[in-house]
A and B are shown apart, each in its own frame.
Chain A
Amino acid sequence: MIGNQIKYLVIKELKLEMRNKYALGGILLYVVSTVFVSYLSFRKIVTPATWNALFWIILLFASINAIAKSFISETKGKLLYLYTIASPQAVILSKIIYNSLLLMVLSGLCLLVYTVFIGNIIQDLPLFLLTLLLGSFGFSSLLTMVSAIASKANNNFTLMAILSFPIIIPLLMVLIKLSKNAIDGLERWDLNYLLVLLFLNVIIIALSYVLFRYLWRD
């Protein structure tokens, strides 16, 4: 039942995205421009710590920008219609799944442009890609929930940033640690951090699943 709802809602999101491509194009261009600005200010970066930190900061801001619109763009009538045909759990889970797909594309593009301009110093690419994958998923689940909260308040965009920054830090720190390992090619496949990352993802999704139904009814 809920699986079916989620499937159709994700397809709906994809279709909507395809219908006005400029939103998607905008966010992809945002990443490319940010990387280019960083490239002009930094030139090549060879210190792994700086490379890593800059990469994640760019990705963090791009993700917030990409996901902020997921509830803000929904009009009241559209939401009301959505809630009469689907359960709130299906709505939040489908948004999370769709946003993680979006962030995977976004982070892939970010990595590509970043390595071309700033330089490629990653020694363990599979681990880095895995980190990126889990990171996209974690970012999307946390930011989708925060964007649902922020969309209920008036000054959306600032609020989205200040609400998400403090609670995204645990996720970000684990991601930075893991991707630093991947860059250095040391401590190959440190299972502890991967488990912590999975654990964080599970907690965030469980919280969203439980709490979202209190958010939507007005």
Chain B
Amino acid sequence: MKKNWWKIIAVLLVLHTVIAGFMIPVPALNILHESIRNLYFHVPMWFAMMTILFVSLWQSIKYLSKSNIQSDLIATQAAQTGMLAGTLGLITGSVWAKYTWGAWWVADPKLNGAAITMLIYLAYFILRGSIDEEQKRARIAAVYNIFAYVLLIVFLMILPRMTDSLHPGNGGNPGFGGYDLDNNMKMVFYPAVIGWILLFVWIFTLKVRFEKLKRKQLFNE
């Protein structure tokens, strides 16, 4: 119990998000209307993804300095969990865009950033798949992970400054920053971010434990 308190918090916060997110009144804004509730689900996915991908980066750096295969295992599982969060973020965003902008996908810096993130990590998995030797695979994949993550961060920083964006929170569109978010929404949004991040960390730790057990079984046979 002492070690698992944060899992209970995760469940409670996500429950709070789902219940309060649909029940508590939201400000009546043009265009957005009730779809503003997507904020509680869509935005935390990206926060969770970046958090988990950062864990992946950190473990890759750790692998290069210590050459411990456990770090590589954790880095892979983190990248996979990050992609799960990213996919959910894309789906929630896409459905929202269909009803608000009228299209599943539009040319927009935020969306392009998301797409490139997915492409980078898919390429990372293909790279892993094409090397057989374990230590070599771990090393090469770690190098690519670090190289790609740094360039991705740079890209996410410079891209929005190059073109205007339709996305809420950019180019004068209402978003979750500053005056757009009333106190009711803040009461749901901040717990939602923490709750979803914790939930994804939980999924990630489960995946890591599962992989470790699989390895153990492999060596025992």
Binding site for B on A (CB under 8 A): 145, 149, 152-155, 159, 162-163, 165-167, 169-170, 173-174, 177, 196, 199-200, 203-204, 207, 211, 214-215, 218
Contacts and interface: CB of A to CB of B under 8 A. Distances in A.
Contacts of B152: 167
A188 B130 CA distance: 46
Interface in B110-165: 112, 116, 119-120, 122-123, 126-127, 130-132, 136, 139-140, 142-144, 146-148, 150-152, 154-155, 158-159, 162
B131 A215 contact: no
Given A153-B130, A159-B126, A211-B146, A174 B158 contact: yes
A73 to B, nearest CB: 19
A170 B151 contact: yes
A207 B132 CA distance: 25
Contacts of B142: 214
Given A153-B130, A153-B140, A214-B139, A167 B147 contact: yes
B139 A153 contact: no
Contact of A149 (B112, B116, B127): B127
B159 A173 contact: yes
Contacts of A162: 119, 122-123, 126
A70 B4 CA distance: 51
A155 B127 CA distance: 9
B187 interface: no
28 contacts: A145-B147, A149-B144, A149-B147, A153-B130, A154-B131, A154-B132, A155-B130, A159-B126, A159-B130, A162-B119, A162-B126, A163-B123, A163-B127, A163-B144, A165-B119, A166-B116, A166-B119, A167-B152, A169-B155, A199-B154, A203-B150, A203-B154, A207-B146, A207-B151, A211-B143, A214-B64, A214-B143, A215-B140
Contacts of A207: 146-147, 150-151
Contacts of B122: 162
Interface of B: 64, 112, 116, 119-120, 122-123, 126-127, 130-132, 136, 139-140, 142-144, 146-148, 150-152, 154-155, 158-159, 162
Nearest to B133: A218
Contacts of A165: 119, 123
A163 B144 CA distance: 8
Give the interface SS of chain B, mostly helix, strand, loop or mixed: helix
B219 to A, nearest CB: 24
Contacts of B120: 166-167
Contact of B127 (A159, A173, A196, A215): A159
A173 B116 contact: no
A203 B157 CA distance: 14
Report which residue of A166, A177, A207 has the largest number of chain B beta carbons within 10 angstroms of its beta carbon.
A166
A194 to B, nearest CB: 13
B123 A166 contact: yes
Contacts of B146: 207, 211
Contacts of A169: 112, 116, 155
A154 B158 contact: no
Contacts of A218: 136
A130 B93 CA distance: 39
B159 A170 contact: yes
A170 B148 CA distance: 11
A196 B155 CA distance: 10
B140 A149 contact: yes
A169 B131 CA distance: 25
Report which residue of B122, B130, B151, B158 has the largest number of chain A beta carbons within 10 angstroms of its beta carbon.
B151
